[in-house]
Amino acid sequence: MSDLKSPIRSRFAPSPTGYLHIGGARTALFAWLAARATGGQFVLRIEDTDRERSTPESVQAIIDGMDWLGLDADEGPHYQSDRFARYQEVTEQLLQQGHAYRCYCSRERLERLREQAEKAKEKPRYDGHCRDLDQPVDGVEPVIRFRNPDDGSVVFEDRVRGRIEISNEELDDLVIMRANGTPTYNFAVVVDDLDMNINLVIRGDDHINNTPRQINIYRALGAEPPEFAHVPMILGDDGARLSKRHGAVSVLAWREKGYLPDALVNYLARLGWSHGDREVFSRRDLIELFRIEDVNRKASRFDTEKLNWLNQHYLREGDREKILAELAWHMGRAGLDAVSGPALDDLLTVQADRVETLVELVEQSRPFYEDFETFEAGAAKKHLRPVAAEPLSALRDRLANLDNWQPDALQQVIQDTADALQIGFGKIGMPLRVALMGHGQSPAINQTLWLVGKDRSLARIDQALAFTREREAGGR
Ligand code: GLU
């Protein structure tokens, strides 16, 4: 095994057949961290040889997801679809050297082999029928198979899973080129990782069975295989493999739900990697402390509560500029115009402690940006009673004379009003809250006044006073 500190050149190699999901994002994060932690490089490669299932929309979704998470690549994206000539070239080389051969077996014959193996309760494997054919079969477009060694075994030291050994008897001659001239995954991945000088392949452990086959191809090409690190999968909080059923599995869906990229990065890193029992890691901490060897061998469970907790933490303590940019995005999505209310910076100061996500934050801040026509019925019934008219209007007069519209001064004005009328703070606070917000929930009342702003606050108090008068007139 190479020195733990030697620069890692890693890659993320998604197939663009869907969005960037949480599992893929975590694999990408580990590959990115491994490179950053060792002063190496991180390469992005789009594995789009399956022309039918690959779409430009998913390429874009993957790139957008990585951008949002801040997983910048030093190289790429490379596209496998640009490299068909190269796969042909390497196939020719393997054919010439006797490491590959053309196979003309019909679908029916392969199907028979499979059925026989099933009956005998054996693993289906190709029997090498076409290995030593010297004549092509007329009218049949062949596939190309790799001639896997017959004996011996493949041994490798996985940097997460430890030593793995597979006997060659368990492997068969896999197809490397389809009849239509497109390469298969196991072949293209070897050619690419070799050409791109990848020295550590980090990927999901669903690929662990492919690795011995790939190592045999490296050897046939006369190349030293890279090292491997297979990372375990992510389970939903019910212990089943993470799937759509568990809600937002796409990274960008977590954005839409109001999570911060730094929170998600911290969370995903801790999902399978640990450093003592510490939970909070900035990107810089992660880059300093991450070692691929410290990734857990066991699958980890997704825990939304912990993610919420981290998101709250980053809303309070995270990089302010990045949070504000994200907040602005959410305001736009919610149809709110940020210039029609308090500065987002002030909004964040008040609300960060009170919410777990930016979506909650924006929803609870609507009245700071948008006027409302009616008061929520229950809150109005309870708090905008005729007896509230006197304190509200006394307060209104004092507020109208206040120039220093700041939380401390506002607090003092409310207190002075309550003292002058010899009533408790709450007798003013609740009617005022409903007047300002339209309902009974808000931040501290002085902060609420501050955010609503002077003109709007006075207008809303007038609106509430009108409501109490109508109510009195109506005898309700
Ligand atoms: N395209 C493969 C996948 O998305 C890549 C596997 C690998 O990293 O080798 O599963």
Question: Domain residue spans in the chain?
Answer: 9-80+233-308, 83-231, 319-368, 377-473
Check residue 158 and give its pLDDT.
98
130-144, 181-195, 231-245, range with the lowest pLDDT = 231-245
Domain 9-80+233-308 has CATH 3.40.50.620: yes
* 339/472: higher pLDDT: 339
Residue 241 banded pLDDT, cuts 50, 70, 90: confident
Looking at ligand 1, which atom is closest to the CA of residue 47?
Answer: 1
Looking at ligand 1, which atom is closest to the CA of residue 11?
Answer: 8
**Residue 212 in this model has a pLDDT that exceeds 90:** yes
**Residue 86 in this model has a pLDDT that exceeds 60:** yes
Q: Calculate how far, in angstroms, residue 207's C-alpha sits from the geometric centre of ligand 1.
A: 8
The average confidence (pLDDT) of the chain is 95
Check residue 239 and give its pLDDT.
84
| Substitution site in 207, 211, 215, 217 for ligand 1 pocket (most atoms within 8 Å of beta carbon) | 207
Check residue 240 and give its pLDDT.
84
Same fold for the domain at 319-368 and the one at 377-473?
A: no
Check residue 3 and give its pLDDT.
65
| Count of Cβ atoms closer than 10 Å to residue 158 Cβ | 18
Check residue 476 and give its pLDDT.
58
Provide the sign of the torsion angle of the four alpha carbons 13, 15, 19, 24, taken in this order.
negative
Active site positions, annotated: 244
Residue 244 banded pLDDT, cuts 50, 70, 90: confident
23-27, 171-175, 260-264, 299-303, range with the lowest pLDDT = 299-303
Instruction: Convert the pLDDT of each residue in 140-189 to its tens digit.
Output: 999 999 999 999 999 999 999 999 999 999 999 999 999 999 999 999 99
Check residue 254 and give its pLDDT.
95
150-159, 231-240, 305-314, range with the lowest pLDDT = 231-240
Looking at ligand 1, which atom is closest to the CA of residue 27?
Answer: 8
Residue 282 banded pLDDT, cuts 50, 70, 90: very high
Instruction: Convert the pLDDT of each residue in 435-468 to its tens digit.
Output: 999 999 999 999 999 999 999 999 999 999 999 9
Check residue 270 and give its pLDDT.
96
**Residue 5 in this model has a pLDDT that exceeds 90:** no
207 in contact with ligand 1, CB cutoff 6 A: yes
Q: How far apart are the first and last CA of the chain?
A: 82
Check residue 426 and give its pLDDT.
87
CATH class of 319-368: mainly alpha
13 in contact with ligand 1, CB cutoff 6 A: yes
Residue 48 banded pLDDT, cuts 50, 70, 90: very high
Looking at ligand 1, which atom is closest to the CA of residue 189?
Answer: 9
Q: Calculate how far, in angstroms, residue 189's C-alpha sits from the geometric centre of ligand 1.
A: 8
Check residue 4 and give its pLDDT.
65
Q: Calculate how far, in angstroms, residue 204's C-alpha sits from the geometric centre of ligand 1.
A: 8
Architecture of domain 83-231 in this structure: 3-Layer(aba) Sandwich (3.40)
189 in contact with ligand 1, CB cutoff 6 A: yes
Q: Calculate mean pLDDT across residues 274-303.
A: 95
14 in contact with ligand 1, CB cutoff 6 A: yes
Check residue 243 and give its pLDDT.
75
Q: Calculate how far, in angstroms, residue 28's C-alpha sits from the geometric centre of ligand 1.
A: 11
CATH class of 377-473: mainly alpha
